[in-house]
Amino acid sequence: MNTETLTASEPSSRQAHRISAADAADMLLRHRDGVLPALAVFDVRDENSYRAAHIDAAIRLAEATFPQQIRGLNRTTPVLIYCYHGNASRTWAQWFADFRFPEVYSVDGGYPAFSDALATRSAGQQGTPVAGMDARADLLAFLQTHGFDPFDLNAPRQHGLTALMRAALAGHEGVVDALLACGADISRRNMDGNNALWLACVSGNAAIVRRLVQAGIDIDNRNDMGATCLMYAASAGKAEMVALLLECGADPQVLNFDDARAVDLAATRSCLQLLRHTIG
């Protein structure tokens, strides 16, 4: 790439990150729903391939247009880049990282995988109506109080929170149970990429954590910064939550985007003791 007229302001050690096609689809759908305020999607395949088919809203990126695109893009904007199979996009993603874009992701599997994942996730976004006369009064009251649509339990509201996330954050065990019984989507993530389990950990409600894990929620979900619930609990000094997550099967060896594990983030001695077996 010719960068004679466009150079990084200073040497950067930032690294671009690889992202699964499913997670890329999740980010794009959250952006379309208004949950993720900004997102740039770039297609780095050849022009004919782009014209034949591309991800909706993706902009074709080439060496000739890179300087223009990078100048016009706010550095706080998350960037998704895909190619044919997920190889060339990693080089492009690193170029963005070299210019100090903190959230740059190369999509594993390229366009075919991204397109398939997007179709699969889009098909699963149908509204989930609450069962009419059998709907619990406390659930309906909760939905009304927080402005959620009873005919689309998965529709996000402020900060990208779904009804399930809001109930988990508030510690409403009965409402969480009712939402799970009505088929609320446990895979949804908010504007930061956190699922309902993270919100349950924030509230510190062990019963809700157990219910969500039993329902099959991704206990090792990494948010948009690569952090898991276990990392959050350790960094917040929530020793009881750290112990519970480990009991439920959380993986303490997962790395965030800074290559740190939960043990590296432990804020208290009690949290460190719970995670010391992961050292070495």
Active site members:
83
Residues 6 or more apart whose Cβ sits within 8 Å of residue 220: 228, 229, 230, 250, 251, 254
Give CA–CA dist 268/215, Å, rounded.
Answer: 30
Gap between the Cα atoms of 155 and 185, Å rounded? 10
Q: Which residues of 116-144 are buried (b: 16+ CB within 10 A; e: fewer)?
A: ebbeebeeeeeebebeeeeebeebeebbe
| Cβ–Cβ under 8 Å, residues 224 and 39 | no
CA neighbor of 260 nearest in space, from 227, 229, 236, 212: 227
Q: From CA 144, how far away is CA 81, in angstroms rounded?
A: 39
Measured between alpha carbons, how far is 163 from 136 in angstroms, rounded to an integer?
14
Q: How far apart are CA 266 and CA 235, in angstroms?
A: 5
Q: Which residues pair with 107 in a beta bridge?
A: 19
Question: Using CA atoms, how far apart are residues 41 and 225, in angstroms rounded to an integer?
Answer: 18
State the Cα angle at 229 between 218 and 214, rounded to 5°.
Answer: 40
